[in-house]
Amino acid sequence: MGSLEIARLVWGGRLTFTIPVSDWIEKACEYSDAQTIPLSHEIAVESYNLPEPFHRDPVDRTLVATARCHRLTLLTADKRILSYPHVNGEDAGS
């Protein structure tokens, strides 16, 4: 799950942490040795130029566009993303 999605879930009350979300994300990245990718103009444009059909969720569009722009495998439990044939996805829900 990307930082944007985590921040959105905290904002919407679906996730809660005992520390600020920014601190949690930083610690999670350190723990998992993850790297972040800045949201570039290329990713922003790709988010809305994805081959259709794809759903309207802006976070999902950004995640898929990021994976496509950087030729990455997207780990997700989201069945809509996993069934999308235009991104290399792997089920992280199992």
Report the pLDDT value the prediction gives residue 88, as an integer from 0 to 100: 95
Rounded to an integer, what distance in angstroms lies between the CA atom of residue 33 and that of residue 29? 6
pLDDT digits (tens, 9 = 90+) for 26-82: 999 999 998 889 999 999 999 999 999 999 999 899 999 999 999 999 999 999 999
In contact, 70 and 37? CB cutoff 8 Å = yes
pLDDT value at 22 more than 80: yes
Closest by CA to 72, choosing from 90, 48, 60, is 90
Task: Return the pLDDT at 4.
Answer: 84
Tell me what percent of the chain is helix, strand and coil, each rounded to the nearest 5: 45, 5, 45
Mean local confidence (pLDDT), 5-17: 93
Strands (DSSP E) found in 4-62: none
